[in-house]
Each structure stands twice: as C-alpha cells, then as structure tokens.
Structure 1
C-alpha cells in the first residue's frame, strides 16, 4: 500500500520552498494513499490538510497537529470518527462520501470545542432515522451540519428528544454493523475465489506452453500473433466480466477496483517497456557475405570523392541538436556503418579505404556528421610544367615593366597659363545711398582770413 512519504510531502510543498517543518497548508488529494502517517511528526504547524479522494481506511497519526483548523478526508474508506481529540484548534471537518456507519463515534468530537462545521453527506449514517437530531444534540459547539445552519430552536428540540433518538441510533448501528460483517465475509470469499481462479489460469497457460505439450507448434511468427490475439480477447473478457458484475459499494469493493485498475495499468506499462527493449533485427549483411546499403534513420547524405586529397568524404545530415554520444561510427575497408540512436545507416564505399586513418567530426554550423576516409590505393600526381613560350612572354613583360619604372616622368606646370580668380572681388561692397538714418557729418572749422 502507498503511505505518506517525505518525498511526496516535499513535492507538494513547492509553495513553501519544499520546506516541511514550517508548512501550514498541504494538499495530498488523489495520491492513492492507503495509510495516514508521519504528518504529525514532520509538519507540526499544519493548519489546513487536504486528503480527499484517497483510500484511507482510518483517521490516525494527526492527534499531535495542535494548530490544525481544517481537515478534509472526503471520498475515503473511513468507517468511524476517531483520534481527533488532540486537534485542539479544529474548526472544520469534512467527511463527505465515506463509509461511516457508527454514528455514535461523533461523541469523540466533544473535545474539539472550536469545531463549527461538520460534513457527513454521503455516509451510511445519514440514512439513519434521527441522524440530524442526534448530531445536533451531541455536539453543542456545532454551527453548521452538512452546510445547513443549526438554529437555536432546532437544538432545543433535539435535546428534548435526545434519549429516544439515541436509543434508535444504537439499534440502527447494530443492524448496520451486522450487515458490514456479512459484506466483509462476502468480499473475503470473492477474493479467495479470484485468487484460485487466477492460479488455475496460470497453471493452464503453463501447461499449454510447456515443451511436453502434445500439440504441434505452428510457425513462430504466426504463433506469436495468435497468442497476442488470444491474450487480447482474454483481457477483454476479463474486463467485461469485472465491470459488469454487480457489486455493493463498500470499502472492500472500492479498494478492489482501485487495485484492479492499477494492475491493468502496470501490465500495459510492462508490455510497452518490453516492446521498447526489443530491438528490431535489420539485415545488414546477407548470408552470402554481401554488404547492403541501409538507411533506417532516413537521413540525407552525400558521398564525395576528393581526388586531390585522395580521400572519400561522407556528409551525413544527422539532427543538429542530437547528442554525439548517441552516434556510433564504424569504418570498414569496403563500407561504413553509423548507428544513430541505435538505428543503422550503412553504405558501401566505391573504393577501399583506410579505417585506421579515418576521422569523424561534427559540423559546428549544421551539426552534420562528416567522416573523412583516406583511400587505400595511393595516387601520385605529377606537377604541371610551365611551357617555354609562357616563360618568354613573362620575361618580356617583366623587362617592359622595369624600363617604365626606370624613366622618370615629370609634369610641366606654367603659372601664366592658368588664371586663378580673385577671391577678394567675389563679394563687392555696396554703397549705401538713401538707406538708414541720416548721418550728420561734423562741420569743418574754417579759419577767417584776417
């Protein structure tokens, strides 16, 4: 069964930087938890705890949460209310859609003096006659029951009829407990029958698949396909039988349904993983020893024969962001093989190459795999001779250039032949006549002739 683990609590405490000692609120709903534990030791400061839609059969290990104000354990397998006396600050308790049939167990909530809201909708005890009157009269501190406010007049009436209602509740509880005992026995019997049936089916399959079986085995591939089809049909029949069988809604049936679904899910995952592990066999070399051209990863490539460098260059367009560790290059004298994520690319070379001198690199721009393979047969290329006529013409051109460089050319400049404009006469001053204010010129003093 799955219980509350530290890793689970830390993952659900992301809003508190994954710190659990100071955690005040945590949501552990829909985690398939079958046992409630450790929270009272790890998260002492919890105020809000969500545990709805799990498989918890019993309220336990929360009594030390002194600051807990809201506990939600709806949609679980709880059958009685207990172990909440230590939650001194508990104000709201949600037990919706559980299997609480012992209604008298709510008397343990008398110690929770701050409890104001209680939810018991969807429990068998809500069908008891006098259910609401009993709860209202038992828990004086309650303000709301099943989202309905408790009025003062309702509480007075409930207290007046409390002895009679309590006696009726006790009788109905006893009848319900007897019914639950029968349901548990029936569930145990069905579980034993299913186990025996499974063992019988396994023995039958082993006997059919044993090598001593008198039946002749068909072709391997055809047999595998037939077995796969038979297995699928059997699984479909089993699913149909399981889901169509009428079953009472009990904690045992709910737990059985969950485990059945989990078993089917794990079986599918195992099949999926086994198919992934199975490596498809590709024919790379025939039985006669002929090497084949194979391109399973379906990559573009180019094969270049570099005659100048006497080598063959393969440019394989692998994915740009593919990790180089997923590539495996194998160069042979007559062919090259590259495994790209386990898928083979094989190419027959036009000439024999030297595997030891070959090199493989990744292009930094495109990410392509470039494999350089020197040819095994070395070719010596003669140097081209320059003809005498070309040399003679080159000599003549050089002599002409030297002659030209030996002569010094001068430029004659005669200043008289060139006239330069007079810059001072470009802008002429204009005489001011009749413009502006009248200027008074000083009178010249004339001396009188004596």
Structure 2
C-alpha cells in the first residue's frame, strides 16, 4: 500500500519543477493508494486531480480544493459519493467502476445536489444495474448536463421528475433485494472457504477481493523491482553534521556558494546563500546553532562554522521573493567593540554629510527663489513702462 506523501507529490509534479504551492494538475494513478490525504495541505490550487486505478475506499480531504474542476476516481473501492460539497468549481466527476450501490445512492445524490457538477460517470457501479437509476439521478441533480457520457435533454429531465415518486418506491424494494443478494453471497463465500480454503475458484468482485488482488500485485511488483534494481531500495543517508573527530563539518554539497560576513555589522553575523527563486521553500531546512549554521536544500547540505558565537534563538531567517536569496541575520553574543565604534563613527559622518547636503539644497532653493523674485520684479517694471508708453498725452 502507498500513501500520498509530500515526496510522492513532488515526484508527480516534475512538470511543475516539483513545486506544489501553485500546482494545478497531478496524476497519481496505479500507486495502490488507499487514502486521499495531504492534497488539501500542499496542493490547494489543484484544478485537475487524477486518482484512477487505486484502492481508495473513501472520498475525504477534498473539500478544501475549491479550485478543483475535474476529479477522476475511476477503478477504486468507493461505496458512496461524499466529501465534495465545498468543491465549488468541480464540473466533472468520474466514478467509473467503483462500488456505489443502491443502499448509498440516496446519500450520494444528497452530496451531488450541493455541487455544481456538469458531468458525472457512474458506469460499472452496482447502482447502475437498477433500471430506474438514470431517471432517479437526473430528476434530483439539476446541475447535470450529461450522465455516463450521454446528454440529458430537457424533456428527459421533466419526464424523470414526473415519475420520481414511483422511482422512490421502487428503490426501496430494489435495496431490500440487493441486501438479500449480498447476504446470500457472503454466506456462500463463507461455506466455500470452510470446505475448500485453498480453492482458486473465481470469487465475487468486491472491494475486499479487489484490494487483496491489488496488494498482491503490488507486492510481486516490488519484489521484482528489488531484484532488478536493489540500489533503488537502499536508504539514502544524509551527510552528517559532524565529522569522525567530532568537529563541525564544512561543506557545500549543492554548490550554492554561501557567503558569510563577520565584519560589516558589528552586532550581527550575516549569512547569504543564492537559491533558485522557483525552488519551493518547503524543500529548504535551516538550522542555526551558536557555533555553526547549516542549510539543507533538497537533502544536500551546506554548512559553515562561525568564528563568533551567536544567539541562535534570536536569529532572523528571510528569503527574497524576487531573487530567492536566503538571508540569515545572527546576533553576536559578544559584539566587536572596535567594529562598533567604527560603525558609529561612519554613521555620524554619514549623518553630517546628509546634513551638509540638506543645507546646500536649502541654499540652492533660496537662491533660486531670489532669482525668481528678481525676474518677477523686472517683468512687472517692464509691463508698467509699456502701459505708460501706450497712454496718449493730453493736449
């Protein structure tokens, strides 16, 4: 049996550079998955989710996928349609060859009534053996445009609604008949196992037998793969933090060329590392210690010893959204007093320089205002002279 882990999701998201936060489509088929999980944690923006040909027994952990448009759960072990009421964008649901029976059809319909589903596929489910199944579905799920690949016409829907009362009565009898058949099947299966436990006779196709078959196939497949490629199943050992002599290991396995600066800031040690901007932050693990800093990117270790002791718990870790650069600011336990004095002196010099620039700017602005006032006075005097010249002398 397999689980939907973060590692599996990244493996299936290679087309999206292994990023999960903005992943819109993923296919996880034929993986012997038994449970839907972690998709609502890592892949909130999924639009297409393909989970066909697994052994999933329950529709769960889907309601937070509000952007999901197409869900394929064909060839699984699901008995009832549920857990998609809040998938407000869901347009297409494929449940081909599952185990949705008449005992769960009413609950399934109640779920579908809360969705905006346009296309539904139920071919191969036990409920489709009932002759009234199609009319029962289309009479109650108004959003549907097609069922099992066949368009629902306006006339067909009206006729189905007209006989809904009769269908509901027939359903009661059909459910009782289904229960009797199921009890009879279980009884016969029990007798068969008691009298001939090793018999290879064909047994009924049920969620249990299908699960047993898939797990057997998965085990055989894994054994063959182990024989063919034993290296694949060896546990990968991460590079250790310490060397054999107990000292802190210094390394850069990922080739990210880290930068460490103890001198520019008298109170902090600055660590920088250029990481690809599209790399998901969840693939980065940062560990700040008083005497060293280590960063694992996709399992590869970058580690540097510190010349000065720092406050690990007060350190600040940031990552640029534009460049992807990792910046770690680590406060020193014993700040360098000489550097501190130099920094303060530089700060004062910078402040004095800024004040001088402000004064020069003010003087420049004052001079410009004076020049402007002088120009205005000259213009006014010229205008007054022109007016005097234009006035005729009285005789």
Classify the TM-score, shorter chain.
Answer: 0.5 to 0.7
The alignment partner of 1:111 has SS state of coil
Offset at residue 263 of structure 1 (A): 3.8
Indicate conservation of the 8 Å contact 2:112/2:141, yes or no.
yes
Alpha-carbon separation, structure 1, partners of 2:4 and 2:166:
43
Q: Distance in 1 between matches of 2:190 and 2:38?
A: 30
C-alpha displacement at 1:178, in angstroms?
Answer: 4.5
Counterpart in the other structure of 2:112 = 109
**1:268, CA displacement in angstroms?**
5.4
1:152 corresponds to which residue? 154
CA distance in 1 between partners of 2:195 and 2:219 (Å): 18
Aligned equivalent of 2:172 = 170
Change (3 A) 1:17 1:144: same
Gap change, CA 1:31 and 1:190, over 3 Å in 2: farther
Map 1:380-391 → 2, pairs under 5 A: none
* Structure 2 match to 1:51: 51
Instruction: Find the aligned partners of 2:80 and 2:215 in 1 and give their Cα distance.
Output: 23
**In the alignment, is residue 259 of structure 1 matched against residue 215 of structure 2?**
yes
Distance in 1 between residues matched to 2:46 and 2:229, nearest whole Å: 41
Q: How far did 1:138 drift? A: 0.9
Work out whether residues 57 and 79 of structure 2, in 8 Å CA contact, stay in contact via their aligned partners in 1: yes
Q: What residue is the counterpart of 1:92 in the other structure?
A: 92
By relative contact order (CA 8 Å, sep 6+), the higher-ranking structure is: 2
Trace 1:13-52 onto structure 2 (pairs within 5 A).
13-52=13-52
- Number of aligned pairs? 227
The answer to whether the 8 A contact 2:12-2:27 is kept is yes
- Asked whether the equivalents of residues 76 and 98 of structure 1 are also in contact (C-alpha less than 8 Å), the reply is yes
Question: Are the aligned partners of 1:44 and 1:65 in contact in 2 as well (CA < 8 Å)?
Answer: yes
Change (3 A) 1:256 1:116: same
Instruction: State the secondary structure of the residue aligned to 2:144.
Output: coil
Q: Runs of 4+ in structure 1 displaced over 3 angstroms? A: 177-194, 262-274
In our comparison, the structure showing a higher alpha carbon Rg is 1
Match for residue 130 of structure 2? 128
CA distance in 1, matches of 2:68, 2:187: 37
Aligned residue for 1:71, secondary structure, equals strand
Relative to the length of structure 2, the TM-score reads: 0.53
In structure 1, stretches of 5+ residues that fail to align are: 198-240, 275-450
Distance 2:20 2:67 in 1: 15
SS at match of 2:120: strand
d(CA) in 2 for partners of 1:145, 1:5? 33
Query: C-alpha displacement at 1:270, in angstroms?
Result: 6.9
Structure 1 pair 142/37, CA: closer, same or farther in 2 (3 Å)?
same
1:71 aligns to 2:71 (yes or no): yes
| Unaligned segments of structure 2, at least 5 residues | 231-395
The answer to whether the 8 A contact 1:67-1:89 is kept is yes
Contact 1:187–1:252 (CA under 8 A) maintained in structure 2 = no
CA distance in 2, matches of 1:25, 1:185: 44
CA–CA distance in structure 2, aligned partners of residues 49 and 257 of structure 1 = 25
1:143 alignment counterpart: 145
Distance 1:272 1:146, change over 3 A: closer
Q: 1:187 to 1:89 in 2, by over 3 A?
A: farther
Measured in 1, the distance between the counterparts of 2:47 and 2:159 equals 34
Give CA deviations for 1:399-444 in whole Å, capped at 9, x if unaligned. xxxxxxxxxxxxxxxxxxxxxxxxxxxxxxxxxxxxxxxxxxxxxx
Contact 1:50–1:73 (CA under 8 A) maintained in structure 2: yes
Question: Which residue of 2 is the match for residue 211 of structure 1?
Answer: none
Following the alignment from structure 1 to structure 2, what is the Cα–Cα distance between the partners of residues 269 and 188? 36
CA contact (8 A) 2:59 2:81 kept: yes
Seen in structure 2, the aligned counterparts of structure 1 residues 187 and 157 have a Cα distance that, compared at 3 Å, is same
Separation in structure 1 between the aligned mates of residue 96 and residue 38 of structure 2, nearest angstrom: 24
* Structure 2 counterparts to residues 17-416 of structure 1, below 5 A: 17-101=17-101, 102-104=104-106, 105-112=108-115, 114-180=116-182, 183=185, 242=200, 245-266=201-222
Equivalent residues of 1:103, 1:169 under 8 A apart: no
